[in-house]
Structure 1
Amino acid sequence: MTLRAPVQLVDPATYSFQRPLREFIRRPSTIVYLSIVAAVALICFVGPAFGDDPNSTGFAVLTPPDAQHLAGTDGLGRDLLARMMLGGRSSLLVGVAVAALCLTVAVVVGGLAGFYGGLADRLLTKVSEFFQVVPSIILALVAVTLLGSSLPLIILILSATMWPQVARIVRAECMRIALLGYVESSRAAGFSSLRIFWSDVLPNAFPPVLVATTMTVGRAILSESSLSFLGLGDANIPSWGALLYDAQPFMQIAWWPTLFPGAAIFIVVLTANMLGDRLNDSLNPALSRVK
């Protein structure tokens, strides 16, 4: 009589998420993009401790980049590189905080709406349709104008305008996964709906949600920069968009106050979007073959 080895069951969440994530991290392009993000974060959060005072006006006005001021000085005689490093903190903080808040709200609201359906699902659909009709940047402009322009308030406003896009993805994935066989098996085994949602449905819905959250970082930085460029950012905390706003009167006589903050926004947003694209390729290999 031949004894057969016991069949090993594979956890669906482990199979569908952890292996592509390891593949994503090992990609050469991912290493390059992550290195860029890490370098920018390190410069912004550690660099101010070794640079000039970003608020000091003791330098010559509109000095071009040189050995003493690598990015030049602005219209008030402040070191532009020091202000860019300080402003980078605000821009990066906004991007990460908005993405985290959007992910949290979207997972709870969108996941429960997609898994349970009913009134919650109908309400989420109506809210998402409202935010799709009205551009989020317009809502952010109105809210900042009426409520103020502190950095925490800007983060809350941008999160309130961006979470429905992520929530719709969570809802669609949870609705799809709720009909799969292993979810039905869990129901037949007598597990509660809440346990099935947190242990079986939500982990398998997470990969596309993670891609959307990565894209949200770049969108949040662009939105915050747009508000600051329009003069609606936090006046007490510089950001890259605020530096572009301050450089407007000097655009025809000095190129560096505009070029360097604009390049920083471009590099960070592009890198965040490319990371999201590479993550999507790893989690959806069929799409990467089509490309």
Structure 2
Amino acid sequence: MSVQQLSRPASDAAPEAAPPRRPARRPRNPDAIWRVYFRKPLVRIALPILVVIVLASVIGPMLTGDPFATNHPTFVPPNAEYPLGTDNLGRDYLGRVLMGGQVSLLVGFSVAFLCLTVALVVGGLAGFYGGVLDTVLVKISEFFQVIPGIVLALVAAAILGSNLAMIVIILSVTMWPGVARIVRAEAMRISQLGYVESQRAAGFLSLRILWSDVLPNAMPPVLVATTMTVARAILAESGLSFLGIGDANRPSWGALLNQAQPYISTAWWLALFPGLCIFIVVLAINLLGDALNDALNPSIGRVK
């Protein structure tokens, strides 16, 4: 290397490569989050489908007539007069499927609401306070988590009888620990942040800090888990009803599948439409939950 090269001013030296820019983070204000969410193609497909099924299940039975009426011909395939055909007793199957949707969706959303309520209380207290309270609440949640839901439902049905309220309670009892674990982890993380410590030092009540600052900031992953709980509850209720554990006066999609078993080879539509409804609803809810996780998580992707 020559002397001229050594004496070259630093400004003439070749510029170093600039460090790679970090990807832009997603905006955290609610309007931006929901714009990202509703802009996703899968949301634009799954959300209208789910809304149509929910609305049809809620108001459909009032428009299709009595789903228990047996004044129709039996085993009529789907046609213009009977869009979903009729069953073995001459009942309009469209009304039966819509009524089954009422039951399945009611169970799914009721279980998710109860799980969220219990999880916020148990997981929030455990993660925020820690110590002995955390240990006790974690042991309680672990106890409920290992209870087999199907076995518990069978025992409860044999002792108390099978009804819709019992199924909702049993599914809630066995599903809330999963959501509570997420609440606890988020509460532990948030409670160690600086603004929470400053509020403690300022003398604010712990419950006030937990309710107004910790739990609201813990909601993004909790909402995703709750969304998935709706789908899990619908599948679980359908499985229980398929086994004969359900309300005979208000059959769900799973109960309709159970009743269609003897006629699968002769009346295919009796099993096809309830099964298709379960598949579409669960798939739509899972897609909406994945998209919600993407929109609420700033580390996934970037706004285009």
Q: What is the TM-score normalised by the length of structure 1?
A: 0.89
- Paired position in structure 1 for 2:8: none
Separation in structure 2 between the aligned mates of residue 133 and residue 125 of structure 1, nearest angstrom: 13
Which stretches in structure 2 are left out of the alignment for 5+ residues? 1-26
Give the paired residue count. Answer: 276
Q: CA RMSD in A?
A: 1.8
Question: CA offsets, 1:113-170, max 9 Å, x none?
Answer: 1101133311232233334444433333333333322112211111111111100100
Match of 1:73 among 86, 89, 99: 86
- Between the aligned partners of 1:189 and 1:104, the Cα distance in structure 2 is 29
Aligned to 2:290: 277
Partner residue, 1:235: 248
CA distance in 1, matches of 2:85, 2:226: 35
Could you tell me how far apart the structure 2 residues matched to 1:17 and 1:143 are? 43
Q: How far is 1:30 from its partner?
A: 1.8
CA contact (8 A) 1:99 1:214 kept: yes
Q: Are 1:221 and 2:234 an aligned pair? A: yes
Q: Does 1:257 pair with 2:270?
A: yes
Structure 2 residue 107 is matched with structure 1 residue 94:
yes
Q: Is 1:185 the equivalent of 2:185?
A: no
The within-5 A match list for 1:102-117 is 102-117=115-130
Q: Name the CA distance, whole Å, in 1 between partners of 2:163 and 2:274.
A: 21
CA distance in 1, matches of 2:115, 2:286: 17
Which one-letter code corresponds to 1:116 in the other structure?
A: Y
Indicate the residue corresponding to 1:206 in structure 2. 219
- Once residues 133 and 164 of structure 2 are traced to their aligned partners in structure 1, the CA distance between those partners, rounded to angstroms, is 31
**Structure-2 separation of matches of 1:120 and 1:142:** 31
Q: Distance in 2 between matches of 1:288 and 1:261?
A: 36
Assess if the C-alpha contact under 8 Å between 2:126 and 2:138 holds in 1: no
For 2:157 and 2:193, the matched residues in 1 are separated by 44
Partner SS state of residue 69, structure 1: coil
Kept in 1, the 8 Å contact 2:28–2:298? The answer is: no
d(CA) in 2 for partners of 1:240, 1:167 = 29
Q: 1:288, CA displacement in angstroms? A: 4.5
The CA deviation string for residues 211-268 of structure 1, in whole angstroms up to 9 with x for no partner, is 0000000011111111110011111112101100100111122210000000000000
Please name the residue that 1:120 is paired with.
133
The equivalent of 2:57 in structure 1 is 44
Letter in 2 for 1:184: E
The answer to whether the 8 A contact 1:103-1:163 is kept is yes
Instruction: Return the alpha-carbon distance in structure 2 between the equivalents of residues 288 and 124 of structure 1.
Output: 36
**Which residue pairs with 1:244 in the alignment?**
257
User: Is residue 150 of structure 2 the alignment partner of residue 165 of structure 1?
Assistant: no
What residue number does 2:18 align with?
Answer: none
1:22: how far off? 4.2
Structure 1, unpaired ranges of 5+: 1-13
- Higher Cα Rg: structure 1 or 2? 2
Cα 1:134–1:156, aligned 2, differ >3 Å: closer, same or farther?
A: closer
Give yes or no for contact 1:17–1:207 (8 Å, CA) kept in 2.
no
Map 1:134-145 to 2 at 5 A.
Answer: 134-145=147-158
What do the CA deviations read for 1:71-116 (whole angstroms, capped 9, x no partner)? Answer: 1111211111110111111111111111011101100111011101
User: Structure 2 length normalisation: TM-score?
Assistant: 0.85
How far apart are residue 179 of structure 1 and its match?
Answer: 0.7
User: In 1, are the aligned partners of 2:128 and 2:187 still within 8 Å (CA)?
Assistant: yes
1:22 and 1:162 mapped to 2: Cα distance? 31
Could you tell me how far 1:276 is from its partner in structure 2?
A: 0.6
1:83 equivalent in structure 2: 96
The amino acid across from 2:106 in the alignment is L
